[in-house]
Amino acid sequence: MALTAAPKAGDTSPPRHVAIIMDGNGRWAQKRGWPRLVGHRRGAERVKQIVRACPDLGVNWLTVYAFSTENWKRSTEEVLGLMKIFRRYIQREADGLAAEGVRMRFIGGRERLDPKLRALMAGIEARTASNTRLNLTVAINYGGRDELLRATTRLAEKIAAGQISDPTEADLAACLDTAGSPDPDLVIRTSGETRTSNFLPWQAAYAEYEFTDTLWPDFTPERLAEILDSFGLRDRRFGGV
């Protein structure tokens, strides 16, 4: 049976764009005496479930934080294991994502990534480019400060070339990795941490935040539906009265 967020008095429309900091994979595994990579594999399975649930919950855009610019500091074994998981996810899910109308794209710097992974990323982006049922954005080697630095560099180049004379916020937004995507309405962080961790600092300036103790491998579509219900009761004034 398809999941739906239960309507309540005073509900607004569900968030069009949900962004998720998927935290807690390693701790989930360690609590069970398993290697951290087991948690990351379980986390990848959870992504599949959440992606499939989003359209029925009214979510049109989903952005997930898979690997940050700071995550390179982890052990070589964990980093290499994560990259392998990313490759397998794209290879195994490509047909299903295409068939289910999911458009997949990636944000973050790609230069440091393995050439095979970069090729897989470009391939699935091209294959799903015309899909519209759900827009899935995966942040890999992403950091908000790094993105802003790259974006301001692009903007400065345009100004120097005479393409822009009086830059606006829209001009900078057009230089971000997320150009063409709506800003997130709701940012969820799992695992009990309450940091934003350099995730979408420009785009999430007016987003609502939800911090949940649930570790990512335990974050079910039902839990997402509960959070969307709660979001519907929030009064978003955007600086107004």
Which of the residues are catalytic? 23, 71
Q: Is 216 annotated as a binding residue?
A: no
For residue 26, report the phi and psi dihedrals to the nearest 5 degrees.
-65, -45
Q: Is 208 annotated as a binding residue?
A: yes
Q: Is 157 annotated as a binding residue?
A: no
For residue 138, give both structure tokens. 């995966």
Q: Is 61 annotated as a binding residue?
A: no
Which residue has 């195994």 as its token pair?
92
Query: What CA–CA distance (Å, rounded) separates 237 from 184?
Result: 15
For residue 90, give both structure tokens. 């794209």
Q: Is 36 annotated as a binding residue?
A: yes
Q: Is 110 annotated as a binding residue?
A: no
Which residue has 């969307």 as its token pair?
228
Tell me if residue 52 falls in helix, strand or coil: helix
Q: Is 74 annotated as a binding residue?
A: yes
Q: Is 239 annotated as a binding residue?
A: no
Q: Is 145 annotated as a binding residue?
A: no
Q: Is 77 annotated as a binding residue?
A: no
Helices and strands per DSSP (H, E), number in the chain: 7, 6
N-term to C-term CA, the chain:
40
Q: Is 24 annotated as a binding residue?
A: yes
- CA torsion 219-94-19-62 (nearest 10°) is -110
Burial of 144: CB neighbours in 10 Å, binned 0-12, 13-18, 19+: buried
Q: Is 17 annotated as a binding residue?
A: no
For residue 65, give both structure tokens. 């934080």
Binding region = 23-28, 36, 40, 68-70, 72, 74, 189, 195-197, 208
Binding region for substrate = 24-28, 36, 40, 68-70, 72, 74, 189, 195-197
Binding region for Mg(2+) = 23, 208
